[in-house]
Amino acid sequence: MARQTSNFVCQECGASHPRWIGKCDACGGWNTIVEEAAPAAVPKGLGGKKGARIDFVSLKGESIPAPRMTTGITEFDRVCGGGIVPGSALLVGGDPGIGKSTILLQVSAALASQKDTRCVYISGEESVDQVRLRARRLGLADAPIDLASATNVRDIVATLDGADPPQIVIADSIQTLFVDSLDSAPGTVAQVRTSAQELIRLAKRRGFALILVGHVTKEGLIAGPKVLEHMVDTVLYFEGERGHQFRILRAVKNRFGPADEIGVFEMTDAGLAEVPDPSALFLADREEAVSGACVFAGVEGTRPMLVEIQALTAPASFGTPRRAVVGWDNSRLSMLLAVLEARCGLAIGAQDVFLNVAGGLKISEPAADLAVAAALVSSLTGKPVPQETVVFGEVGLSGEIRQVGQMDVRLREASKLGFTQAVSPTLQRKRRGKGKDGKAAPAFADLQVHTIDHLDGLIAWLHNTVTPLPTSHEPVSRRVSNG
């Protein structure tokens, strides 16, 4: 009888090691190695038995569009690409307490209220009474949802593989489920991979939509093997700061719709409420004539998004200046500070720099470079960016301003919200046409577009159009008389 061997598998990245070690060599995680039983290997491979032939078809042909089940929650349907596709598998991840179970309970209640739609909610973390308590708080106690508390995948598959399968199945969460044929504990790489594989295979065969809830690591990534995100059709991340009421549902993978699409929700005492116009809500609390604040015209997926970027610079108290960033890439801020000092001659290297994206939104597109630079220059010089101005553009290492995508969409959203000026890269002449002076004509009559091709142009524009504010160290009486 062959001796059963073991593998030591990292629970963060799934890397296998021949023995236990304190630190994973692949991802650098500490105390993440767990011993798991190695699967039985096939000594002869496929052997001499031949398989069935595969039929190939032409790439050109007619395809039936995937049907959709709309929930009625517009922001959720937008992120899914227009609704949930039957037979698909969705993975929803987010920090603890961010609202994953709340939004999925609202989604299941909205779908269950529709005709001929049966929804099953399986909770592995909470009891039935706890889920009922949340449903009463959300006003969903009368929703016709089939509720159960179970963790054994064998029992779940046997229940769902019946004569009347449901249309929607929600498993909260995949880290609590286990397959009894494996010796490892629930939440390990082998258990998560096998449990998800069995449920996804059943969903594809019976045609119901499967929604899995996944835990996240301290880095914000879904815990467990990375192959879990490859197995599902759609991966959704819940983002948001605990100090803000806004929650962002972002699609990072979607086989049935656009990726990087977002839905904006507001956390209330009655659950998550939709935010149909997030730009106006993110800019609702703006103050007038404040240096270091700039409005960025961004695009998240197919939706234009206007958000305020705040910067604060102050002389460093110690030898090493501080760099604190919330909602943006820290390494990109370091690059932008180096460009401002090396290419524009601004003495900003010895300053403490604090950067914040208002509202708890996380920005990843390079188009925010110019808006961040405007906020930094405004804070450093004490000259506020005009309140009716939006800024966007990518900054290169030589200080040049590069064009970004969907410039028309950004300008149209700014014009709709009442902005009168925009600072952007040089517009494309082929699409815009030329004006009398040979420059690109603006897209909107009520929006004055200032096009620049270098960071020096941004600094000159701020210097020529903005009056510096009085410093906070100036006496109040003098500030009033100056005003």
pLDDT of residue 424: 92
Give the orientation angle of helix 153-160 with respect to helix 189-206, to 10 degrees.
Answer: 0
pLDDT of residue 211: 97
pLDDT of residue 331: 93
Q: Which of 276, 300, 317 is the last residue of a domain?
A: 276
Question: Are 250 and 324 found together in one domain?
Answer: no
Question: Are 131 and 191 found together in one domain?
Answer: yes
Instruction: Tell me the pTM.
Output: 0.76
Structural tokens at position 459? 């600094």
pLDDT of residue 431: 45
Q: Specify if 473 maps to a domain.
A: no
Q: Specify if 227 maps to a domain.
A: yes
Structural tokens at position 10? 């990292």
Question: Are 110 and 140 found together in one domain?
Answer: yes
Which domain covers residue 347, as residue numbers?
Answer: 286-465
Domain with residue 261: its CATH number is: 3.40.50.300
Question: Are 260 and 292 found together in one domain?
Answer: no
Residue ranges of the chain with per-residue pLDDT less than 70: 1-5, 38-49, 219-220, 223-224, 242-243, 427-445, 466-483
Question: Are 124 and 30 found together in one domain?
Answer: no
Q: Specify if 58 maps to a domain.
A: no
* Residue 308, strand partner residues: 295
Question: Are 246 and 295 found together in one domain?
Answer: no
The phi, psi pair for 344, rounded to 5°, reads -110, -5
- ∠ CA 139-144-146 to the nearest 5 degrees? 115
pLDDT of residue 475: 36
pLDDT of residue 41: 55
Domain with residue 347: its CATH number is: 3.30.230.10
pLDDT of residue 395: 96
Question: Are 448 and 348 found together in one domain?
Answer: yes
Question: Are 271 and 296 found together in one domain?
Answer: no
Quote the number of domains for the chain.
Answer: 3
Q: Specify if 172 maps to a domain.
A: yes
CB 405 within 8 A of CB 299: yes
The phi, psi pair for 196, rounded to 5°, reads -65, -40
d(CA 242, CA 297): 25
Q: Specify if 57 maps to a domain.
A: no
Q: Specify if 166 maps to a domain.
A: yes
Question: Are 368 and 438 found together in one domain?
Answer: yes
d(CA 398, CA 177): 53
Question: Are 33 and 169 found together in one domain?
Answer: no
pLDDT of residue 438: 42
Question: Are 158 and 307 found together in one domain?
Answer: no
Q: Specify if 470 maps to a domain.
A: no
Q: Which of 242, 276, 310 is the last residue of a domain?
A: 276
For the chain, report the end-to-end CA distance as a whole number of angstroms. 92
Q: Specify if 43 maps to a domain.
A: no
Question: Are 252 and 296 found together in one domain?
Answer: no
